[in-house]
């Protein structure tokens, strides 16, 4: 059974392409993931959950960043990787 990842792919793609700012992506992705009650297959869940962790680790203020924190470019790279991983899952299905 395939699940619809379109909403996730849309918000990630808009962020990666620069059509959505980091603050809007952060708020939107965290809310979407927290409110999602879908029972995702393990592979899809791991990708979505890993990106959730990356978004949670994002810190806008350089003065407040910890060694585990991500800046905007690092978060964008994580989002790009997640988008590629989701696409690879779809193409192998």
Contact 15, 77 (CB under 8 A): no
How far are the Cα atoms of 1, 11, 66, 80, 87 from residue 42, in angstroms, in the given order? 13, 21, 30, 20, 15
CATH 3.40.50.2300, domain 6-92, yes or no: no
Q: For the chain, what's the residue count?
A: 93
Q: What pLDDT is recorded for position 89? A: 86
Q: What pLDDT is recorded for position 92? A: 75
Q: Where are the domains of the chain?
A: 6-92
- Could you tell me which of 19, 29, 12, 28 has the C-alpha nearest to residue 76? 12
Q: Per-residue pLDDT for the chain (93 aa), expressed as one digit of tens each?
A: 345 899 999 999 999 999 999 999 999 999 999 999 999 999 999 999 999 999 999 999 989 989 899 999 999 999 999 999 999 988 876
Record the pTM. 0.90
């Amino acid at each position: 059974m395939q699940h619809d990842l379109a909403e996730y792919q849309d918000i990630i793609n808009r962020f990666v392409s620069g059509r959505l700012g980091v603050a809007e992506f952060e708020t939107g992705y965290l809310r979407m993931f927290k409110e999602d009650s879908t029972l995702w297959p393990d592979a899809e869940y791991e990708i979505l959950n890993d990106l959730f962790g990356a978004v949670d680790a994002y810190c806008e203020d350089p003065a407040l960043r910890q060694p585990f924190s991500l800046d905007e470019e690092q978060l964008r790279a994580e989002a790009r990787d997640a988008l590629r991983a989701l696409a690879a899952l779809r193409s192998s299905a």
